[in-house]
Amino acid sequence: MNIIRIPVLSDNYIFLLHDVNTNQVAVVDPAIPEPVLMEIKNLGADLVAIFNTHHHFDHVGGNQELLKYYPNAVVYGGIKDKGRIPHQQVFLEEGDTVEFGDRKADVYFVPGHTYAHIAYYFPPVEASGWGELFCGDTLFAGGCGRLFEGTPTDMVNSLTKFRNLPDSTRVWCAHEYTLSNLKFAITIDKDNQDLQQRLQQVVGDRQKEIPTIPSSIKIEKLTNPFLRWDNPKIKQAMGLNEPERVFGRLRGMKDNF
Ligand code: ZN
Ligand code: FE
């Protein structure tokens, strides 16, 4: 499965999954249709699935138009998004699996950003390979999504699921927010050398307009304060102890950063 990253709008990423054996593609969170249609045409491929993580327009805005060209494509989303995702046909819950080509993804229910948000995790094919996580607006590189329809407790539970994935999991999040996230993170976790290094790297990359996505679970666990609510330094910086409260204060500070 090849993964093609398509940058769209001001900071969104659409991901195209390409199964080379069958020349089928699936798309994750098509914000807009045009660049997706163009890429599929370039590949001479057939669109068989639309995997939506949540109902926000910058994730489902392309559904309708894509179905005009590929009426057999199946639209997946979370069960609680029923009525909010255009043309949704499959209603997924935690523990469900979806198939694409020779790969199978586990579905995680990850409320917090919205109450219906789901993520798709493709485990590695070989023990030494990468797993692929499509997490929409739940986990970002260096940050996490805003709590529009959920509580800190929801989000801590959701992010815990990601934190438990193997280090060798690529994180395909839906926005290029990494630089501003890390600029915030360094104000909280100043002495973290992995974070200092990462910020420096990302500053350089963004100056050259190099995408910072995918990230990995390994680097996120080392540098993303929103996965580090139980780290002594973070707890100390927040002056709090319980995970939900540490996380809640961190999220509040980021909202006003
Ligand atoms: Zn969103
Ligand atoms: Fe979004």
Set 18, 19, 29, 54: catalytic member: 54
Among all bound ligands, the one having the nearest atom to the CA of 138 is 1
Tokens linked to 249: 């204060």
Strands 90-92 and 215-216: unpaired
| pLDDT tens, residue order, the chain (257 aa) | 999 999 999 999 999 999 999 999 999 999 999 999 999 999 999 999 999 999 999 999 999 999 999 999 999 999 999 999 999 999 999 999 999 999 999 999 999 999 999 999 999 999 889 999 999 999 999 999 999 999 999 999 999 999 999 999 999 999 999 999 999 999 999 999 999 999 999 999 999 999 999 999 999 999 999 999 999 999 999 999 999 999 999 999 999 99
User: What does the alpha-carbon distance between residue 129 and residue 123 come to, in Å, rounded to a whole number?
Assistant: 9
User: What does the alpha-carbon distance between residue 57 and residue 60 come to, in Å, rounded to a whole number?
Assistant: 5
Kindly report whether the peptide bond that precedes residue 214 is cis, defined as omega within 30 degrees of 0. Answer: yes
Distance from the CA of 73 to the center of ligand 2, in angstroms? Answer: 22
Instruction: Determine the structural domain holding residue 133 and report its residue range.
Output: 2-255
What's the CATH number where 32 sits? 3.60.15.10
40-45: long-range contacts (C-beta < 8 A, 24 or more apart)? 40/16, 40/70, 43/18, 45/18
| Strand order, beta sheet including 103-109 | 97-100, 103-109, 118-122, 131-136, 169-173, 215-216
> How many separate domains does the chain show?
1
Tokens linked to 137: 């607006």
Distance from the CA of 170 to the center of ligand 1, in angstroms? Answer: 20
- Residue 58 annotated as catalytic: yes
Distance from the CA of 21 to the center of ligand 1, in angstroms? Answer: 33
Question: Of the candidates 203, 207, 149, 213, which has an alpha carbon nearest to the alpha carbon of residue 179?
Answer: 203
